[in-house]
Structure 1
Amino acid sequence: MKSEQGDPIPLWERSEPAVRPAPSPLSRDNIVRSAIALADSEGLSAVSLRKVASSLDAGAMRLYRYLSTKDELLDLMADAVYGEIVSEGPIVGEWRDTLRTIANRIRSACREHPWFIELLGGRPHMGPNALAMLEASFAALNDSPGFDTVDASMQAIRTVNAYVIGAVQAENSDLKNSMSKADWQKVWWPYLERLIATGNFPMLAKIIRDASHPSPDIIFDTGLETVLDGLGSQISR
């Protein structure tokens, strides 16, 4: 959709089409809610304009009055999740607390909506809620010692976001491929035992024998603290 001057109009600045009383009222909000419910239950690959329309008892062509492409639907879905993150309240505290809050809120959103992971780290999210999240993050760091320039804040937020994206992607992969300890041992242990018996994998043998295999929460928190320690060292220099 374009303005009178021929310039593209961003999705969030387009007016809603007039509500039709029949056969079933639609709005961007209930389209997005339906798409999120579908993604939560069946995964992002299951989301299509046809399926979303069907869940709303509407024809797919009616959805094109509210958005133009599936990518726009994904943008709206992502921004709705950012809205949930922003609704958790202000981000406050010293810089380490601020970055912990950002990291944990994103991780929690990914646990609530596993498909959201697939939309992180790609093209920039420019919806109003995504920008509100970004604004709140920078505002929280703005007066912190060591963050005298916006470049320092950008570097810190980028670093933490990169860690969070990698960590939640690994967690999600583990969940998708999870099997019981007994099943894992049945499938893999004879093979690993043969490899270890060769003597060529002493570190692998040590990992199997001595590693504590902590919970996902401990792994995430430990990795995050390592990242924050690195940022702290940089700030102190």
Structure 2
Amino acid sequence: MTVWDRPEPPARPVPLDRERIVAAAVALADEGGLEAVSLRKVAARLEAGPMRLYGYIAVKEELLDLMVDEVYAEILPEERAGDWRAALGGLAHRTRRAALRHPWLADLLGGRPALGPNGLAVTEATLAALDGLADVDTVMRAVETVSAYFTGAIRREVAELRAERVSGLSKREWQRASGPHVTAMLATGRFPALARAVHDGADGDPEVSFTTGLDWVLDAVATRLTRASP
């Protein structure tokens, strides 16, 4: 029986329910990452005894599942997309924005399928936008391909933001601090392709880079869907 199917225990002097527990856990994770979340810390946040939480949530993994599903409510499309490309592109951008609001989400993307009501609703809206365009296996590969792109891109962006917080240096400050070492290494002539990239490449805005890569992936998916169309 999943956490969503298991009934909640009756209320006691300090009112509790899964909604309050999950909201407290999300707040803790937003403040300090997943390492800041435990059933004991959530209970303290709610001024309740830790053992009471076990009536609602058996293990921490269930709490993480509930937290992810809570954020999936922010990823749900407000209305049906006009076509499959808008649906997959919208999913990618909404997931990125949710992960920037809740950086811990990046650590939980790409794992087991999301089985909560919001996660299932996101999957349903996504698959519905591609329904009938090709056979089911092709549609699933298309969704998996786009998901793999934005999951990796989001994790990289969040990792860079975390590195900035840990080091106390912005990306540009880190580049300036690392400049002498990089310049010396490129001057050896051992890295000509890298030298051209460093000297001639543009330092793109993260959102622009994300959108550009997403468009390339969607172009490739479009080709495959056209070949597989009934």
Q: Is the 8 A contact 1:91 1:136 kept in 2?
A: yes
Return the alpha-carbon distance in structure 2 between the equivalents of residues 34 and 78 of structure 1.
13
Identity of aligned residues (%): 48
Q: Quote how far apart the aligned CAs of 1:185 are.
A: 4.1
Return the alpha-carbon distance in structure 2 between the equivalents of residues 183 and 92 of structure 1.
41
Alignment-derived partner of residue 38 in structure 1: 28
Question: Which among 58, 71, 83 is matched to residue 68 of structure 1?
Answer: 58
**Structure 1 unaligned spans of 5+:** 1-8
Q: Quote how far apart the aligned CAs of 1:148 are.
A: 3.0
Alignment-derived partner of residue 159 in structure 2: 173
Return the alpha-carbon distance in structure 2 between the equivalents of residues 182 and 106 of structure 1.
26
Alignment-derived partner of residue 135 in structure 2: 149
Return the alpha-carbon distance in structure 2 between the equivalents of residues 182 and 16 of structure 1.
50
Q: Quote how far apart the aligned CAs of 1:186 are.
A: 4.5
Return the alpha-carbon distance in structure 2 between the equivalents of residues 35 and 234 of structure 1.
41
State the Cα deviation string for residues 32-84 of structure 1 (Å, max 9, x = none).
00000000011011100010000000111010011100001001101111122
Return the alpha-carbon distance in structure 2 between the equivalents of residues 204 and 95 of structure 1.
37
1:133 and 2:122 aligned: yes
Question: Which among 6, 13, 20 is matched to residue 5 of structure 2?
Answer: 13
Aligned pair count? 223
The normalised TM-score by structure 1 is 0.89
The normalised TM-score by structure 2 is 0.92
The amino acid of 1:160's aligned partner reads V
Return the alpha-carbon distance in structure 2 between the equivalents of residues 158 and 181 of structure 1.
31
Q: Is the 8 A contact 1:79 1:130 kept in 2?
A: yes
**Structure 2 unaligned spans of 5+:** none
Residues 1-237 of structure 1 mapped to structure 2, 5 A cutoff? 9-20=1-12, 22=13, 24-86=14-76, 88-143=77-132, 147-178=133-164, 179-180=169-170, 183-237=173-227
Bigger mean CA offset, 158-167 vs 171-180: 171-180
3-state SS of paired residue (1:221): helix
Q: Quote how far apart the aligned CAs of 1:149 are.
A: 2.0
Q: Quote how far apart the aligned CAs of 1:110 are.
A: 0.9
Return the alpha-carbon distance in structure 2 between the equivalents of residues 182 and 225 of structure 1.
27
Alignment-derived partner of residue 3 in structure 1: none
In the superposition, relative to structure 1, how do residues 34 and 227 fare at CA in structure 2: closer, same or farther (>3 Å)? same
